[in-house]
Structure 1
Amino acid sequence: MKVLFIGGTGIISQAISKQLLKQNSELYVLNRGNRNMDLPTNVKTIIADINEEEKVKELIKDLEFDVVADFIAFVPEHLERDYRLFQGKTKQYIFISSASAYQKPLSDYRINEGTPLSNPYWEYSRNKIHCEEYLMKLYREENFPVTIVRPSHTYDEKSIPLGVHGRKGSYQVIDRMLKGKPVIIHGDGTSLWTMTHNSDFAKGFLGLMGNIHAIGESVQITSDETLTWNQIYQCIADCLSVEFKPYYVSSSFLDAVSEYDFNGSLLGDKANSVVFDNSKLKRLVPDFAATKRFDQGVAETIEFVLSHKEFQILDEEFDIWCDRVIEALEQAKTEILKK
């Protein structure tokens, strides 16, 4: 199979690349070349900014593909460009959407591909919805061979997945845990969530590539394991061998008192209880099974992060903000309880 990935160096795409090349496929990656040192050595690189359309058109003029997958398309304009570039040059075009595009607030915590798409909280998700609508119109009217994939919270070995963190990633929360400080958890920690290891996501994605039954379809790829946020943080604390010290704050309050995008990432995503029904994926890819349990996967991630200083990125601004939120709420309790 001859494949082109646009982007190709992210959490999801790197795992797919590694598994794909074990199948003796021919993989091309088109990007600006800034992070290609992390790619397998047998990947063929096309160095270009995908937005430089005429340059890219020239670079791929003699190439055709079985699959083109764009991992860095976020707005319909990106897809309009891809359609101009790859119409007639690929047997399948895969767009990476997002499970955050599903209806918020949810009318049913059980999510499948039939769940309505609507997210008034997060522009990112609304843009993904617009992208899906554009592509399905192309499929219906132009026979463009589209497959839409919806990942949820997917993680790898380099970043510990959490609910509430600052702009510099999740490590500052880990630092708070290691120092015995309380960590902020949205809500009361009992809402349901799903974490998917990128190696499991890759299994499902590979099963959709070159799959004639996936053309014209939207498919979510997640683990079948469902956890509460308390369980997620407890697993992390156990791996760190520290006491779990949660400090519960409502998602709406966190959004109201921060400059972080909690309106989107919490109210429009993680604050909602979700349980994914992957029946459709399993019909299309009968041998799919997510086998990396969260406590196992996050243990590997924590071991990697703690042994690689370059991934231990501190965020003093977020740390101070957490302390201020906790202090303010504790003071409010004291004032309310005064007689």
Structure 2
Amino acid sequence: MKALFIGGTGTISNAITNQLLETGCELYLLNRGNRNEHLPKGVKIIQADIQNEEQVAQLIENEQFDVVADFIAFHPSQVERDFRLFRGKTKQFIFISSASAYQTPLSDYRVTEGTPLSNPYWEYSRNKIACEEYLIKQYRDHGFPITIVRPSHTYDERSIPLGVHGRRGSWQVAKRMLENKPVIIHGDGTSLWTMTHNSDFAKGFIGLMGNIHAIGESVHITSDETVTWNQIYQTIADALGVKLNAVHVSSHFLATCDDQFTGGLLGDKANSVVFDNSKLKRLVPEFVATTRLDQGIKRTIENILAHPELQIEDPEFDSWCDKVIAALDQAVQAVKA
């Protein structure tokens, strides 16, 4: 198989890249070369900015691919560009969408690929929906061989998966735990969530590559393990070897305090979701997610503690947490007075 990944070094695509090379795939990555230093041997690089359509068209002029996958398309104009570039050059085009495109809030907590797409809270998700709609039209009108993949919350060893964190990543929350400071959990912590290790996601994704039954289909790839946010944070605290000091805060309150949480919480993590992976398992019968959350989190924590460069502090978020918690404490005292 000859495949081209646009991107190829992110949380999701990095695991696919590593596993795919073990199968003997001829793999090309098209990117700007900013994060290629840790790529495994055997990857072929097409160094270019995908936004420079004319340059990319010249570089791939004489190429044909079995699979092209775009991991960094977020806006309809970007998949329109992909259609122009790869029409007639690939047997399968895989678009990485998002499970946050599903109906929010859900009318049924069980999510299948037939769940409607609608998210009034998050522009990111609405753009992904628009991308899907454009590609489906190209499939129907022109036979463009699309497969749409919808990841949910996928993580690796480089970042701790959380519900509430600052703009500089999740380490500051772990640091608060290590310092026995209270950490914020959105809502009451009992809503249901699914996290998927990137190595498990890669198994499902590779099974869809070159799969004739996946053409024209939309498929989500997640673990079958469902946990609450309280369990997630407790698992992180256990991996750090500390006691969890949790403060539960309304998602609406958090979004009012900082609009970055409007999409990420109200449009995503504040809602209970349970994914039905039956369709994926019909298309990829061998798929099974084998990394249990506590096992994956333990590996992530161990890796981050061993690599100080991954411990990116966020004093602004730390101060913001203190202010939110203090405001809640003051409200409680005011009501009791």
What is the TM-score normalised by the length of structure 2? 1.00
1:308 paired residue number? 307
Is the counterpart of residue 237 in structure 1 residue 237 in structure 2?
Answer: yes
Q: Hey, what's the Cα distance between the residues in 2 that align with 1:68 and 1:328?
A: 50
2:127 paired residue number? 127
Q: Hey, what's the Cα distance between the residues in 1 that align with 2:177 and 2:58?
A: 52
Q: Hey, what's the Cα distance between the residues in 2 that align with 1:71 and 1:241?
A: 35
Q: Hey, what's the Cα distance between the residues in 1 that align with 2:25 and 2:331?
A: 60
Q: Hey, what's the Cα distance between the residues in 2 that align with 1:115 and 1:41?
A: 40
2:170 paired residue number? 170
How far the C-alpha of 1:210 sits from its partner, in A, is 0.1
Of the structure 1 ranges 175-184 and 38-47, higher mean CA displacement relative to structure 2 is found in: 38-47
Q: Hey, what's the Cα distance between the residues in 2 that align with 1:280 and 1:91?
A: 21
SS in structure 2 at match of 1:37: coil
1:192 paired residue number? 192
User: Kindly, what percent of the aligned residue pairs are identical?
Assistant: 72
1:262 paired residue number? 261
The unaligned stretches of length 5 or more in structure 1 are none
SS in structure 1 at match of 2:150: strand
Q: Hey, what's the Cα distance between the residues in 2 that align with 1:48 and 1:41?
A: 20
2:203 paired residue number? 203
SS in structure 2 at match of 1:141: helix
How far the C-alpha of 1:186 sits from its partner, in A, is 0.2
Query: Where do 4+ consecutive residues of structure 1 move more than 4 Å?
Result: none
Deviation digits for residues 96-155 of structure 1 (CA, Å, limit 9, x no counterpart): 000000001110000010000000000000000000000000000100000000000000
Deviation digits for residues 39-70 of structure 1 (CA, Å, limit 9, x no counterpart): 11210000000011111111111110000000
The unaligned stretches of length 5 or more in structure 2 are none
Count of residues in Structure 1 that have an aligned counterpart in Structure 2: 337
How far the C-alpha of 1:38 sits from its partner, in A, is 2.0
Deviation digits for residues 193-219 of structure 1 (CA, Å, limit 9, x no counterpart): 000000000000000000000000000
What is the TM-score normalised by the length of structure 1? 0.99
Q: Hey, what's the Cα distance between the residues in 2 that align with 1:325 and 1:315?
A: 16
Q: Hey, what's the Cα distance between the residues in 1 that align with 2:41 and 2:77?
A: 32
Deviation digits for residues 71-114 of structure 1 (CA, Å, limit 9, x no counterpart): 00001100111111100000000000000000011100000100
Q: Hey, what's the Cα distance between the residues in 1 that align with 2:209 and 2:2?
A: 11
Is the counterpart of residue 102 in structure 1 residue 102 in structure 2?
Answer: yes
How far the C-alpha of 1:258 sits from its partner, in A, is 1.6
SS in structure 2 at match of 1:174: helix
1:151 paired residue number? 151
